[in-house]
Amino acid sequence: MNFFQALTLPFIRNALMAGILSSVLFGIIGSVVTVRRIAGLAGSISHAVLGGIGIALYLNATGKVPGLPPLAGAVVFALLSAIIIGYVSLKGKQREDTVINAIWAIGMSIGVLFMAKTPGYTDPSSYLFGNVLLISNQDLFWLFILDIVVLFLTLRYYPQIEASSFDEEFTQVRGIQTQRIFLIILGITAVSVVFLQTYVGIVMVIAMLTLPAGTAGYFAKNLATMMIGGTLYAALFSFGGLAVGWILDVPVGAMTVVFAGAVFLGTAGFTLLRKKIARRKKQQGNS
Amino acid sequence: MRRKVESDVSIEMETSGQVPVVLRFSHVGFSYESLPVLSNVSFHVHEGEFVAFVGPNGSGKTTILKLVLGLEQSQEGTVSLLGGNPKRTRSLVGYVPQHASYDRMFPVSVGEVVRMGRLRSSLHRYTKEDDRFVQEALEQVDLSNLLDRPYSNLSGGQRRRVLVARALAVHPQILLLDEPTANMDKESETRLFETLGRLKGKTTIMIVAHDMSIVSAMTDRVFCISSHGQEGLGRTVVQHKMVPEPEDTMKLRVLHNEDIPGDVCPLKENEEQQ
């Protein structure tokens, strides 16, 4: 069965849908995270999510809270770590990166500890690296809702998002509640990370938040075109990852990230080379 | 007196003599955690004045700037900007920050940066009228030909003038510039002062800088953040007399040996003499 025939299979169709729906979030949130330089914060939140997943699995399997979905625990942990990180970066400037790294490590450790005590076999690797073949209709529904929310907020508040990302202080003087914007961005990033990890996993969400937007950033003339370009690149990478993953029978999430990384590095190298040549030509022109 | 400004903020300013006071610090004290930065700072600025605040790095210049803009709150005394709490009235200030640590990879055009001066909290989309303000502001700094250029392609001096244009797009009551000539080439500096010269008298201009070279013939008053701060006490603000520089008519010499208390008003002095 070739890849195009495989598209008729329900789980491949779901994976493809998830890739497309995720692209919108990767493109838009990824651009904002990149230009605001808060990718480290997003990375910390996405890893801390494992703690929530571990606790939810444990509570479910031991019968303490039967039927508790792992994603519920993940959302709680994502928001909790977003609140702590948001508070620390707004209030105490000194130890911001230490706190961010601590949340990263503590979250993951809690996850490992609870998974170890969960009866039956729990494999953390599908959460860490994603498993596109396990994407449910419910996951697609939540991704769709998030897409709608993010698109609406971006269209409604684009000038405020653009200005506060570029120059927070000036924007605040213009009478905009920049701290509120920052916390909302952090909260939405946190929730999105939970649903995005179904495609590429906890470890690599941050790659897909930064690489497509970063690639688009080399050509984009403003934040809006960076968002659109990032979305298109993310869709291309997910589709490519799914196709190659299926054909070579390798994990799709990892393939997607390799694909994204290769294109990003290639673009970066190409841009650097082009600049160098332009500079040399200019020097020759001068002499 | 009461005036309705283009924005929703209506302001009521006190008057001293004939000219309204746009900024008043009354016995302002500010400490950062337990470190006193400013103590008993009193001064006021009149509408249309061109004033400079000068003090060495780490003297509390940035703190004064943040207090003016309501980005920090004083623990003692009051700051009144355009007759009200800075948090309410600061949107009438055209602020030109240093913006030194900006992200060079940020994709944005010159026009889009200037357009941020038109930002309001309720804003959905920038309008045609906003674009007109942008054009006009870029003309004032002689950069209208760069409207569509990427902001990161400009020289440091050009970028600073774009930030001045962004502040002018506000149509501000007060223009507040933070170290405007830092890392600026000579040509941009000259052009900046040409722009400021055209605005003098129409807009109140306040410049914050670390060295006296910022003081030009246009400057009406110089406030110095006093260097002789006492141990355990914050610094205060004094004024210095200025006389024309004999060799350079564009510059003024600041007489450091004569301190005038910050709140003394030269206009009143003149009235008394008459």
User: What residues are paired with B260 via a beta bridge?
Assistant: B239
- Whether residues A223 and B108 touch (CB distance < 8 A) is answered with yes
> Measured between CA atoms, how close is B103 to chain A, in angstroms?
7
- Whether residues A173 and B95 touch (CB distance < 8 A) is answered with yes
- What residue spans define the domains of chain B? 2-273
B129 close contact with A: CB closer than 8 A: no
CATH of A3-286, one of 3.30.300.160, 1.10.3470.10, 3.10.510.20, 3.30.360.10: 1.10.3470.10
User: What residues are paired with B208 via a beta bridge?
Assistant: B53, B178
User: What residues are paired with B178 via a beta bridge?
Assistant: B208
Look at residue B36 and give its three-state secondary structure: strand
Cα B235 from chain centre: 20
- What residue spans define the domains of chain A? 3-286
Which pLDDT score, from 0 to 100, does residue A286 have? Answer: 66
Does the structure's ipTM exceed the value 0.90? no
- Whether residues A174 and B166 touch (CB distance < 8 A) is answered with no
User: Taking 60 as the threshold, does the pLDDT of residue A58 lie above it?
Assistant: yes
- Whether residues A162 and B116 touch (CB distance < 8 A) is answered with yes
Average pLDDT over residues A74-80: 95
Q: What is the pLDDT of residues B138-186, one digit of tens each?
A: 999 999 999 999 999 998 889 999 999 999 999 999 999 999 888 788 8
- Phi/psi at A17 (nearest 5 deg)? -60, -45
Q: In this structure, how many other beta carbons lie within 10 angstroms of the beta carbon of residue B269?
A: 10
**Mutation test of the interface with chain A: which of B105, B122, B133, choosing the one with the most A Cβ atoms within 10 A?**
B105
Which pLDDT score, from 0 to 100, does residue B3 have? Answer: 45
Average pLDDT score over chain A: 91
- Chain A residues with CB under 8 Å of a chain B CB are 35, 37, 156, 158-160, 162-163, 165-167, 169-177, 217, 220-223, 225-226
Which pLDDT score, from 0 to 100, does residue B9 have? Answer: 59
| List of chain A residues whose C-beta atoms are within 8 Å of the C-beta of residue B103 | 35, 37
Which regions of chain B are under pLDDT 70?
Answer: 1-18, 227-234, 242-259, 262-274
User: Taking 90 as the threshold, does the pLDDT of residue A25 lie above it?
Assistant: yes
> Measured between CA atoms, how close is A183 to chain B, in angstroms?
17
Q: Please provide the CATH number assigned to the domain covering B2-273.
A: 3.40.50.300
Sign of CA dihedral A218, B142, B69, A161: negative
* B8 → chain A, closest CA residue: A175
Q: What is the pLDDT of residues B55-80, one digit of tens each?
A: 887 778 888 999 999 999 999 999 99
Q: What is the pLDDT of residues A146-158, one digit of tens each?
A: 999 999 999 999 9
Average pLDDT over residues A49-76: 92
**Mutation test of the interface with chain A: which of B32, B92, B116, choosing the one with the most A Cβ atoms within 10 A?**
B116
Assess contact for B54 and B214: CB atoms under 8 A.
yes
Element (H, E) at B269: helix B266-273
Residue with tokens 């602020």: B95
Which pLDDT score, from 0 to 100, does residue B104 have? Answer: 82
| List of chain B residues whose C-beta atoms are within 8 Å of the C-beta of residue A167 | 97, 99, 102, 116
Assess contact for B98 and B183: CB atoms under 8 A.
no
User: Taking 90 as the threshold, does the pLDDT of residue A96 lie above it?
Assistant: no
B109 close contact with A: CB closer than 8 A: yes
* Distance, CA of A112 to CA of A115 (rounded, Å): 5
| List of chain A residues whose C-beta atoms are within 8 Å of the C-beta of residue B97 | 167, 169-170
- Whether residues A175 and B120 touch (CB distance < 8 A) is answered with yes
Residue with tokens 């026009």: B111
In angstroms, the first-to-last Cα distance of chain A is 62
**Mutation test of the interface with chain B: which of A173, A227, A267, choosing the one with the most B Cβ atoms within 10 A?**
A173
Residue with the bigger pLDDT between A126 and A17: it is A17
